[in-house]
């Protein structure tokens, strides 16, 4: 009689007279799986940073609030930026086309006068030229009329050019002023902290009166409708994982419940510190209430075996021994294991009654 048998005999004798839990192996289905632990996170999760540094004047949200894209989250003090925007608005109004329309009107009026004068000088020159052809008048008078007509032409052309110059200057000043106003408004908006997408405020770290800058996050926002299960899978198991596999999820926050998910992505880079790979999954049947950063345990189902001989895992001792009702230890060969059961490949039949060993 070997030592192991003696130990089990002693265990049985001590246990005599006590009520023992007994079971018979059952033929049921069981799934082969890979164990993984992980954390629930969300897609579209990001940290909130202000675009400019300043003292927080007011916070408009609290943790747990649902926000839309563009929702005002907080307002920072930006008096200088506000003053600059006001000054830019005044300058834009001063340089607007409406304000400077009178300059263009005056230039057009001067051009019209120059045109009328050119017409008069042209008529006088033609008249003097006709008189000269009839030997009336002097050559000096003819030359004076010709010079006056040429000067009138030049004045008209200059007046037209001035209209074009004024139009260009007005357009230029108006565009530059508007650009400066847009820049000032943009800088002023840097002191408004807004949501970049729809989501929920998971965390908010700053209060009114505190200083904020571009290096320190104000809060965290994420999408509570799109949870991601990030699982850490050991490198020895990663070669057996593929997208589309079913996953069974258990969580301390929902004790006694098992939820279903599907593998959606396998990140190719291994974490050299703990020798694991990140595998992502999405719930196909999850709890009604889920919280980010909740931890969970998972079994990634590799295959399912029908009609396997199964016993509860807590009836197995040292992964290779069970105890008959008589107290005799029996060596077995185990196969697939899940959360609660283990497959018996050899050593037992469905008619063998077993007692639960004390662990």
Domain locations in the chain as residue ranges: 3-43+226-355, 48-78+191-218, 82-176
List of residues 6+ apart from 173 with CB closer than 8 A: 95, 100
- For domain 3-43+226-355, give the CATH superfamily: Efflux pump adaptor protein, beta barrel domain (2.40.30.170)
Per-residue pLDDT at 320 exceeds 70: yes
Q: Do domains 3-43+226-355 and 48-78+191-218 have the same CATH topology?
A: no
Indicate the length of the chain as a whole number: 359
Q: Which of 115, 90, 107 is nearest to 168 (CA)?
A: 107
Which residues touch 8 (CB under 8 Å, ≥6 apart)? 323, 327, 328, 329
Confidence grade of residue 13 (pLDDT, cut at 50, 70, 90): very low
Q: 139-189 vs 97-133: helix axis angle to the nearest 10?
A: 170
Model confidence pLDDT, tens digit, residues 113-162: 989 999 998 999 899 889 888 888 888 888 898 898 899 899 999 989 99
pLDDT greater than 70 at residue 12: no
At 269 the pLDDT is 93
37-65 average pLDDT score: 87
Least confident of 87-101, 140-154, 224-238, 291-305: 87-101
Tell me the pLDDT band of 85, cut-offs 50, 70 and 90. low
Residue 298 in this model has a pLDDT that exceeds 90: yes
What pLDDT sits at residue 99? 75
Q: Is the pLDDT of residue 14 over 50?
A: no
CA–CA dist 52, 82 (Å, integer): 13
**CA nearest to 63, candidates 189, 252, 199:** 199
pLDDT value of residue 10: 46
- State the pLDDT at residue 107: 85
Write down the pLDDT at residue 1. Answer: 44
Residue 247 has pLDDT above 70, yes or no: yes
Mean pLDDT of 21-31: 87
- Residue with the two structure tokens 């970049």: 196
- Residue 7, pLDDT > 50, answer no
Average pLDDT, the chain: 84
For residue 84, pLDDT beyond 90: no
What average pLDDT score do residues 239-247 get? 94
- At 120 the pLDDT is 92
> Which residues touch 280 (CB under 8 Å, ≥6 apart)?
228, 229, 230, 231, 263, 264, 265, 266, 267
For the domain spanning 48-78+191-218, the CATH number is 2.40.50.100
pLDDT score at 16: 46
């Amino acid at each position: 009689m070997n030592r192991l048998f003696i130990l089990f005999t002693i265990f049985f004798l001590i246990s005599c007279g006590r009520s023992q839990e007994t079971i018979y192996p059952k033929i049921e289905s069981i799934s082969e799986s890979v164990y993984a632990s992980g954390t629930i996170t969300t897609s579209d999760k990001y940290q909130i940073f202000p675009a400019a540094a300043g003292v927080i004047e007011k916070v408009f949200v609290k943790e747990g609030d649902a926000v839309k894209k563009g929702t005002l989250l907080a307002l920072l003090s930006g008096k200088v930026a506000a003053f600059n925007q006001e000054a830019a608005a005044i300058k834009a109004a001063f340089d607007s086309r409406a304000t400077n329309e009178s300059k263009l009107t005056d230039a057009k009026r001067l051009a019209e006068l120059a045109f009328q004068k050119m017409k008069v000088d042209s008529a006088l020159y033609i008249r003097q030229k006709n008189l000269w052809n009839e030997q009336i008048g002097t050559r000096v008078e003819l030359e004076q009329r010709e010079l006056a007509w040429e000067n009138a032409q030049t004045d008209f052309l200059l007046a037209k050019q001035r209209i074009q110059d004024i139009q260009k200057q007005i357009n230029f000043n108006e565009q530059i002023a508007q650009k400066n106003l847009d820049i000032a408004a943009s800088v002023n908006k840097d002191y408004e902290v807004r949501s970049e997408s729809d989501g929920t405020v998971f965390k908010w770290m700053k209060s009114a009166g505190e200083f904020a800058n571009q290096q320190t996050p104000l809060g965290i926002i994420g999408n509570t409708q799109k949870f991601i299960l990030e699982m850490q899978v050991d490198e020895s198991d990663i070669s057996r994982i593929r997208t589309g596999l079913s996953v069974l999820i258990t969580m301390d926050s929902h004790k006694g419940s098992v939820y279903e998910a599907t593998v959606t992505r396998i990140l190719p880079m291994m974490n050299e510190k703990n020798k694991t790979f990140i595998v992502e999954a999405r719930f196909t049947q999850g709890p009604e209430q889920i919280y980010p950063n909740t931890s969970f345990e998972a079994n990634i189902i590799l295959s399912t075996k029908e009609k396997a001989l199964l016993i509860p895992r807590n009836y197995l001792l040292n992964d290779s021994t069970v105890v008959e009702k008589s107290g005799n230890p029996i060596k077995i060969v185990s196969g697939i294991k899940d959360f609660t059961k283990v497959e018996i490949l050899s050593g037992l039949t469905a008619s063998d009654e077993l007692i639960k060993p004390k662990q």
